[in-house]
């Protein structure tokens, strides 16, 4: 009941039109999110993931949150994107503040999360291709997803994404906690080092990419160089957000929305066929 109240309140204040609530999904009877407003849990094979979709129009935008964050971190971005495209956010397994079922895995990696997302989008009938919008560790999942399912990914928006072992949530000042943190003792039981290796081995398809990075004057040492190298590797447009820290999607949501729009426009332009030649026997103008 508490969840229903929260979701209805958010829907009334942040999200367009009505919300179709579909909770308590069971195996073989999961709700689908092909169209219309949707909030519910979708079965992915014995457990469920929370999915929230709004708006219409392709390519579909899929939001990937940072380590330990739930769908609500996109509450200032998702409604604005839903004005011009289908916009879907979800909770990864083991996010304690989210509404997805936990796993029994002792440790997970970005590849596990990417596989979950792939199954979720298929089970819910969410149409592709997808523009993945990712923050922090979510970018690790997004890059692994793009590498493993390249035909499904039309573009990327990376919000202050870096190698996961350098995520600013890592307690760098605690030399004893650090090794345990990056090997799975964190909010989602993610092995960040193994996930980082998966990114290093990943090949992202040549799609439009916009990367946003925090103000280098307040960023951790080496942050700007890492962002620039990532942008070079992905042939991305790099946007430096002056005056903003790591959580750009909350501090400057309009810039994230603008980046999403740029990528979607590029995807749509590329999909527009060239003018057809005039029919045989008809002189060209």
| Residue 26 phi, psi dihedral angles, 5° rounding | -120, 155
Please state which of the ranges 67-71, 143-147, 164-168, 173-177 shows the lowest mean pLDDT.
Answer: 164-168
Per-residue exposure over 254-277, b if at least 16 CB sit within 10 Å of its own CB, e if not: ebbbbbbbbbbebbeeeeeeeeee
Q: Please check whether residue 82 is in contact with residue 74, taking contact to mean a CB–CB distance below 8 angstroms.
A: no
SS3 158: strand
Cβ atoms of 105 and 35 within 8 Å: the answer is no
Q: How do residues 58-89 score in pLDDT, each as one tens digit?
A: 999 999 999 999 999 999 999 999 999 999 99
Q: Where are the beta strands (DSSP E) in 60-149?
A: 60-64, 87-90, 130-135
Domain 2-271: assigned CATH number: 3.40.50.1820
Question: pTM, whole model, 2 decimals?
Answer: 0.84
How would residue 277 be classed by pLDDT, with cut points 50, 70 and 90? very low
Among 73-82, 102-111, 177-186, 248-257, which stretch is predicted with the lowest mean pLDDT?
177-186
* Mean pLDDT along residues 244-266: 97
> What confidence tier does 222 reach under pLDDT thresholds 50, 70, 90?
confident
β-pairing, 209-214 vs 38-43, is unpaired
The answer to whether 263 touches 156, Cβ cutoff 8 Å, is yes
16 pLDDT higher than 50: no
**Mean local confidence (pLDDT), 219-237:** 92
Q: Does position 26 have pLDDT exceeding 50, yes or no?
A: no
**Per-residue confidence at 4, pLDDT binned at 50, 70, 90?**
very low
Burial 126-148 (b: 16+ CB within 10 A, else e): bebbbbbbbbbbbbbbbbbbbbb
């Amino acid at each position: 009941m508490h969840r229903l109240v929260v979701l209805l309140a958010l829907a009334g204040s942040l999200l367009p039109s009505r919300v179709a609530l579909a909770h308590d999904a069971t195996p073989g009877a999961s709700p689908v999110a092909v169209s219309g407003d949707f909030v519910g849990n979708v079965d992915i094979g014995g457990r469920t993931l929370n999915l929230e979709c709004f708006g219409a129009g392709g390519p579909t935008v899929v939001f990937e949150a940072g380590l330990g964050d739930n769908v609500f971190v996109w509450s200032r971005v998702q409604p604005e994107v839903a004005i011009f495209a289908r916009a879907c956010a979800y909770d990864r397994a083991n996010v304690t503040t989210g509404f997805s079922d936990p796993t029994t895995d002792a440790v997970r990696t970005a590849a596990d999360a990417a596989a979950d997302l792939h199954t979720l989008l298929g089970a819910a009938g969410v149409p592709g291709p997808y523009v993945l919008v990712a923050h922090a560790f979510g970018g690790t999942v997004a890059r692994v997803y793009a590498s493993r399912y390249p035909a499904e990914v039309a573009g990327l928006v990376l919000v202050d994404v870096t190698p996961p072992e350098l995520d600013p949530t890592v307690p760098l000042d605690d030399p004893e906690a650090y090794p345990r943190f990056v090997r799975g003792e964190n909010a989602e039981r993610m092995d960040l080092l193994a996930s980082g290796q998966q990114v290093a081995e990943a090949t992202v398809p040549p799609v439009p990419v916009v990367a946003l990075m925090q103000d280098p004057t307040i960023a951790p040492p080496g942050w700007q160089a890492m962002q620039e190298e990532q942008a070079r590797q992905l042939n991305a447009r790099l946007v430096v957000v002056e005056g903003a820290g790591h959580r750009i999607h909350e501090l400057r949501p309009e810039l994230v929305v603008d980046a999403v729009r740029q990528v979607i426009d590029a995807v749509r332009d590329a999909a527009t066929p060239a003018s057809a030649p005039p029919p045989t026997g008809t002189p060209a103008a």
